[in-house]
Amino acid sequence: MGAMKQQILTALVNAFMTFKPAEDWIAPKADTIGSKASGIMQLEDDQYDENYAEAVGQIAHGVLAAVAEGLLGIIDQDVRKTASPEFAGMSLGGRPVYATPTYSATKNTGWYTIAYNSGDRASAVFFVRDTATGYHSSIHFIAQHLYRKNHIAVLSSSYYGTAGGAIRQIRLLSETTYGGAALQVYVASNNIPVQVWMDQNYQQSGWTLVNWSTDTYDLPEKTLVDLTSFTPGMATSGNFSVQGKLTAASIDPEYVHYEENTRAAITQKVQQDIPTEKLGGAVMFYNKEASQMEYFVPNKGEFRTLQNEVVGRVDPVLTGPGDEEEGGV
């Protein structure tokens, strides 16, 4: 390789090392790197002197323009968090990841399809809302379809009306492994202005937005979330796991399943999880060794049956995690 060619390649490396922020290099797409560089690289070494500056500029611009679209698919989401209108419609492999403008419509009572997948993989974040007087639904949720496996996670659902928002339910329709899926929402009143946004549509081949379609799908209902059962709040059509302690003002379960446990294990978990000010309460569990329900009163160190009979004792637990006496140095 001639010395001048080496200089050109070095200049290209330096151009990448001094990459400017995304908003500065999104420019009208230039010719590809091949068409920009092929003729230049065929020049004889002694011709590089007069062509050097133009060569470096053309090749660098060609490379940056050619890879800009691909880089948009992998750069951090911060670019889209502050996206101005020129960022609207960015795509990753042809799939929109920052969808503006939205689909808007005025609809009556019924189910409406807002997105579909042809039969493989889809996962994205959606925001749906109504702007009708007295309702004002605002729902952020994730919808996932993976070869017949469906999941809906409602990140936040809120409304103004005392009877709930105009958007009351979300469901996924699907059947066979490759039969595709339809994402639908239920509008519970007439003449309702509704809108939908979609973001983070990264999975292949992803969701395709639909403009509030009333088309029917010959698919059974697989997954449904009733927003009226918990709104305002959040929910999931799947399971919810917390590794630490879950604190709630009240609970309303259909049933409670107690896993097998032992007194020693419960004592250890209480020491790890329960703050000092709550150690006067009680922890209920299923004692697999005694085959019975029991509860533990930490600050007394007592294990009792549901008939309040003391059946075991340990040293009282008087301090919670983080409240141990600090040692000196």
**Is the pLDDT confidence value at 58 over 60?**
no
Calculate mean pLDDT across residues 66-72. 44
If pLDDT is split at 50, 70 and 90, which confidence band does 15 have? low
> 3-class DSSP state for residue 149?
strand
138 DSSP β-pair partners: 129, 158
- pLDDT for residue 178: 87
Calculate mean pLDDT across residues 198-223. 86
Q: Where are the domains of the chain?
A: 3-72, 95-236, 241-329
Residue 180 zone, left/alpha/beta (φ > 0; ψ -120 to 50; rest): left
- pLDDT for residue 20: 40
- Mean pLDDT across the chain: 75
Query: Over the stretch 237-276, which tens digit does the pLDDT of each residue have?
Result: 777 777 677 777 777 888 889 999 999 999 999 998 888 9
More confident residue, 101 or 58: 58
314: closest CA among 329, 324, 304?
304
Calculate mean pLDDT across residues 288-313. 96
Q: Where are the alpha helices (DSSP H) in the chain?
A: 3-17, 22-25, 33-41, 48-72, 78-81, 263-273
Calculate mean pLDDT across residues 74-96. 41
- pLDDT for residue 168: 92
Q: pTM for this one? A: 0.56
Query: Over the stretch 171-181, which tens digit does the pLDDT of each residue have?
Result: 999 888 888 89
168: closest CA among 152, 155, 184, 153?
184
More confident residue, 24 or 131: 131
Which tokens hold the place of 236?
């999931």
If pLDDT is split at 50, 70 and 90, which confidence band does 162 have? low
**Is the pLDDT confidence value at 81 over 60?**
no
- pLDDT for residue 11: 60
List the single range of 21-25, 217-221, 239-243, 255-259 with lowest mean pLDDT. 21-25
If pLDDT is split at 50, 70 and 90, which confidence band does 213 have? very high
**Is the pLDDT confidence value at 139 over 90?**
yes
- pLDDT for residue 268: 92
> 3-class DSSP state for residue 139?
strand
